[in-house]
Amino acid sequence: MGHNHGNSTSNHANKRTLTISLILISTYMIVEVIGGLLTNSLALLADAGHMLSDAISLFIALMAFTFSNKVANYQKTYGYKRFEILAAVFNGATLIGISVYIIYEAIGRFRNPAAIASDGMLLVAFIGLLVNIAVAWIMLRGSDVKNNLNMRGAFLHVLSDMLGSVGAIVAALLIKYFGWNWADPLASIMVSILILRSGYTVTKSSLNDLMEGTPENVDIEKVIKKIRATDGILSIHDLHIWTITSGLNVLTCHAVVDKTLNIEESERMLFKIEADLRELNIHHSTIQLESGAHPHSDSVLCNAKIAPSLHNPHEH
């Protein structure tokens, strides 16, 4: 079996980055709530609400890294690593929920335009933009935004917040110089659509992981070809590839091999396969070797039934 259970240094950097980001976001969220109430700006209140979801998602992401470091036990043989995926689902779901709520409120503002203190709105939105830029920069410099699903979800929250600040700034300028009060709910709706898209992306990826779908960064055809091309492998079946958490893709399969192979030759073959699979983003592999005499299906994928008979509990 191949083992690669993540990088502790990377996790430490992610946790440090999340902590700093959480403090900055939470502090300015309070400022935006006060500013939104004083200026009567829906765009600012919407951005503050999004910052609240950011703060919650950052906190949960921080807890996810803490829980994911807990060791495996008899009840949780993979430990708590999948908690990170659950946090990512929550992040995506909150993005979708907040965007729908903002759109609903904005429609009401179109019907009944409200007076808005544009100068105060502009100042608060501009400072909010600077805070979001700082947090985004910290995340890009100090964490694994590209490969870690949980960090990516938190980063998308911050990017959406940044867009919300830009929208609020534009709306404040239109209100200040042209008296277009409808710019406030319009900016809210435009930002909400972008937030909705981000939420959908994160939710779709994390639900795929929960459903144990093939990881997005794994080409299953290349994996099959690589294993079949190994000397000594005659065929494979009962193949499964899924994600435990970011940076831990798992593969299991049965491989039919030449019956003349001895244990030492089989081990060398397995070591080669594991090394080849790591290059294809498979970090943990379990391969059961069988002879042609062992009952098996011609299909690469598993054909096991949900309720197998007592006489043959492992139908493939």
Same domain, 135 and 277: no
Residue pair 155/136 in contact (Cβ under 8 Å)? The answer is yes
Same domain, 80 and 115: yes
Q: Which of 190, 210, 230 is the last residue of a domain?
A: 210
Same domain, 111 and 217: no
Cα 160 to Cα 166: distance, rounded to the nearest angstrom: 10
Say what the pLDDT of residue 308 is.
Answer: 53
Same domain, 196 and 221: no
Q: Is 126 exposed, middle or buried (0-12, 13-18, 19+ CB in 10 A)?
A: middle
pTM: 0.69
145: domain CATH number is: 1.20.1510.10
Same domain, 177 and 231: no
Residue pair 35/117 in contact (Cβ under 8 Å)? The answer is no
Same domain, 149 and 45: yes
Q: Is 175 exposed, middle or buried (0-12, 13-18, 19+ CB in 10 A)?
A: buried
Same domain, 71 and 176: yes
Cα 216 to Cα 205: distance, rounded to the nearest angstrom: 8
Per-residue model confidence as pLDDT tens for the chain (316 residues): 444 444 555 667 778 888 888 899 889 888 888 888 888 888 888 778 777 777 877 887 777 777 766 777 778 877 777 777 887 788 788 878 888 888 888 888 888 877 888 888 899 889 989 988 998 888 888 776 776 766 777 787 788 778 778 888 998 999 989 988 888 888 888 878 877 887 888 888 888 888 888 898 899 999 999 999 998 899 999 999 998 877 789 999 999 998 888 889 999 999 999 999 999 999 999 999 988 766 666 678 776 666 554 445 454 4
The answer to whether residue 1 sits within a structural domain is no
Q: For residue 150, what are the CA distances in angstroms to 79, 125, 276, 300?
A: 17, 27, 27, 31
Say what the pLDDT of residue 5 is.
Answer: 43
Beta-carbon contacts of residue 267 (< 8 Å; ≥ 6 apart): none
Say what the pLDDT of residue 293 is.
Answer: 66
Same domain, 51 and 166: yes
Q: Which of 210, 228, 263 is the last residue of a domain?
A: 210
Cα 273 to Cα 228: distance, rounded to the nearest angstrom: 10
Total number of domains constituting the chain: 2
What residues form DSSP beta bridges with 222? none
Beta-sheet strands, E only, within the chain: 233-245, 248-257, 284-290
Q: Is 49 exposed, middle or buried (0-12, 13-18, 19+ CB in 10 A)?
A: buried
SS (H, E, C) 23-40: HHHHHHHHHHHHHHHHHC
Same domain, 148 and 182: yes
Cα 216 to Cα 82: distance, rounded to the nearest angstrom: 17
The answer to whether residue 296 sits within a structural domain is yes
Same domain, 197 and 237: no
Q: For 179, which DSSP code? A: -
249: domain CATH number is: 3.30.70.1350
Same domain, 99 and 193: yes
Same domain, 44 and 111: yes
Say what the pLDDT of residue 6 is.
Answer: 46
CA 19 to chain centre: 18
Say what the pLDDT of residue 3 is.
Answer: 42
The answer to whether residue 2 sits within a structural domain is no
Domain extent for 18: 8-210
Q: Which of 210, 230, 247 is the last residue of a domain?
A: 210
Residue pair 25/55 in contact (Cβ under 8 Å)? The answer is yes
Say what the pLDDT of residue 2 is.
Answer: 42
CA angle 42, 136, 203 (to 5 degrees): 70
Say what the pLDDT of residue 239 is.
Answer: 93
